[in-house]
A and B are shown apart, each in its own frame.
Chain A
Amino acid sequence: MNRIGNVLLAASSALTFALLYAPVAVTVLFSFNAPRGRFNLLWQGFTLANWRHPLGDPALTEAFLTSLALALAAALLAVLLGGLMALSLARARLRGRRVIGLLVALPLTNPEIVLATALLNLFVGIDLPRGPLTLLLSHSLFCLSYAALTLKARLAGFDPSLEQAAQDLGAPPLEAFARVTLPLLAPGLLAAGLLSFSLSFDDFVISSFMAGETVTLPLYLAGAFQREISPQVQVLTTLVLLVSAALLLLATLSGMPTLRKAVDLPRRDPFGRP
């Protein structure tokens, strides 16, 4: 590729990163803002006061903790149910596995509002009051498909002869599973769990139909947009961002050599000089 192409590529990549990070940068910046009035949306001046009381907004803190607990429970449930489904679909030659596979993937093709309407109708119909239980049921459902598909793809990449070898050496099936398959699957379980966690933690549409009196973080934020946006919103978001960035960096650094091997990256640039 010629020089103009390279410059265009770099410029377009920079623009894309700028668009991705503009709202993130603004959020971090406004965690240091000293707002006048109830909405922390206009830049007034620098202060560290907000960071001295990151939990200074009790309603926000409570919503944050509610979302944390909900996302944790939903992710655990989704990984457990999805993992069992993935094991069965990847290992057993079932009649009707194509239909089941389709059923697992189908929720991913619906906009969230479809699921929200359908579930609200169901829970109204069976007279189940909206609250923590309906939140957990609905969240675990939309995480289930992601978890099952991620884990199924992981399992399909494994060599089943490893487990068979363990069994040939006298290990009972369950022990072979626990000592061979499970450790191999652990990174996949973690990945599926983290994905489910972040999907549930950030969900707004389904939660707004399922929550009843319960207030999750996204529901609190939607209400705050009408009422009052305290700087603690930005402080807490920045803290979440820092933790996510640290986890991501850790995963990236520890995964770098294996990832390189896994995808067999070229040693030299195929578009560079011949």
Chain B
Amino acid sequence: MPASPRAEAAARARRFWPWLLLAPGLLWLLGLYLLPLLGLVPLSLSEPLSRFGLETVFRGRLATYLEVLQAYGPILWRSFGYAASATAIGLLLAYPLAFAIRFRGGRWQPLLIGLVVLPSLTSYLVRAIAWTSLLGDNGPVLALLQSLDLTAAFNGLGLLRDGRLLNTPTAVILGLLTNQLPFLVLPLVLAMERIQPCLLEAAADLHAGAWRRFTQVVWPLSRPGLAAGILLGLIPAAGDVVNPLFLGGPNERMVANTIDNLLLVQLQAPRAAALTLVLMALVTLAVLVQLRGRGLDGLPLP
């Protein structure tokens, strides 16, 4: 039976409206994200026109990548080293807290989650400034270490440098760590909330002790929260500018500081683009390893 013209028009409208709703957002994502991102590729293969501007000319020059890797390879490794250390220590702290909130929080659970989020609602620059007060040469942390006679021991462990805390990797990692803690805790709490209580009751009925209930029920089911936390914590940390600038010295600069400097101070746009693309490739690799073929859909993102 041939469809009436009205039904046909209605069907066309049904096919049409979803694209109409998508159009403005897609325009944003294509024009302000995908296009500029792809634009970095030709830029990274170009050469600066002069030493005084950002204008470049395309030369198909691959050697920039080699130069960038040679010159900034150590800074790249340092960035991922700092970010990974911060995330690893952060997860050691976040997992027990998430567990406590989920299984011990009771009716205070929403309030506890709020308390985890609250510090990140203050500016992270102000928090970094506060850390410089805490970790400074006349600050309370060093005073405490001195009164406990631990300065020499911490020096020996490499946590302090010449009895100072500021301008050391320790300070930068501490800053990165406290910034990402809420983003490690929240996905873990969400993942643990998805664990049905009946699973734990069933395990208990089968005489599983607390430890086995943890290793065989809670841990495997909270793994997606771990993956989401690593994504939300590691990526911003690896690309951070503020903590190395405020809490570290010249020897603790991270890759984003270098890109910043190349673009805005040295006006070496091709090198900055090449380094940015290398950073992006490494981060994408880390994401793919974390997701292992599963999509983002299953992750408990807050």
Contact = CB atoms under 8 A, between A and B. Distances in A.
A88 B210 contact: no
Interface in A91-126: 91-92, 94, 100-101, 103-107, 109-115, 117-122, 124-125
B258 to A, nearest CB: 10
Interface stretch (B62-70, B120-128, B153-161): B120-128
Contacts of A41: 129, 132-133, 136
A109 B123 contact: no
A109 B210 contact: no
Interface string B91-107: 00110110110011011
B79 to A, nearest CB: 9
Majority SS of interface residues in chain A?
helix
B172 interface: no
Contacts of B121: 198, 240-241, 244, 248
Interface residues of A, number: 100
Contacts of B276: 113-114, 117-118
A144 B129 contact: no
B273 interface: yes
A20 B210 contact: no
How many B residues are at the interface, by size bracket?
35 or more
Contact of B197 (A13, A81, A266): A266
Interface string B184-215: 01000000010011001100100000100110
A26 B133 CA distance: 8
Interface stretch (B1-9, B144-152, B219-227, B233-241): B233-241
Nearest to B288: A109
Nearest to A219: B125
Contacts of A204: 124-125, 241-242
Nearest to B89: A19
Interface in A209-238: 209, 217-218, 221-222, 225, 229, 233-234, 237
Given A84-B22, A92-B18, A271-B103, A118 B239 contact: no
B39 A118 contact: yes
B28 A121 contact: no
Contact of A122 (B32, B130, B193): B32
Given A148-B25, A244-B121, 19 more contacts: A9-B96, A19-B174, A20-B178, A24-B130, A27-B129, A42-B138, A43-B133, A84-B21, A94-B18, A106-B33, A117-B263, A140-B28, A141-B29, A144-B29, A201-B123, A208-B264, A222-B125, A252-B114, A264-B196
Interface of B: 17-19, 21-22, 24-26, 28-30, 32-37, 39-40, 43, 54, 93-94, 96-97, 99-100, 103-104, 106-107, 109-111, 113-134, 136, 138, 174, 177-178, 181-182, 185, 193, 196-197, 200-201, 204, 210, 213-214, 231, 235-236, 238-242, 245-246, 255-256, 259-260, 263-264, 269, 272-273, 276, 279-280, 283-284, 287, 296-297, 301
Interface of A: 1-2, 5, 8-10, 12-13, 15-17, 19-24, 26-27, 30, 41-43, 80-82, 84-85, 87-89, 91-92, 94, 100-101, 103-107, 109-115, 117-122, 124-125, 137-138, 140-141, 144, 148-149, 153, 198, 201-202, 204-205, 208-209, 217-218, 221-222, 225, 229, 233-234, 237, 240-241, 244-245, 248-249, 251-252, 255-256, 259-260, 263-266, 269-271, 274
20 contacts: A9-B104, A13-B97, A16-B93, A19-B177, A24-B122, A91-B18, A103-B34, A111-B240, A113-B279, A117-B273, A119-B36, A121-B43, A121-B273, A148-B25, A198-B120, A198-B121, A201-B123, A204-B124, A222-B242, A240-B121
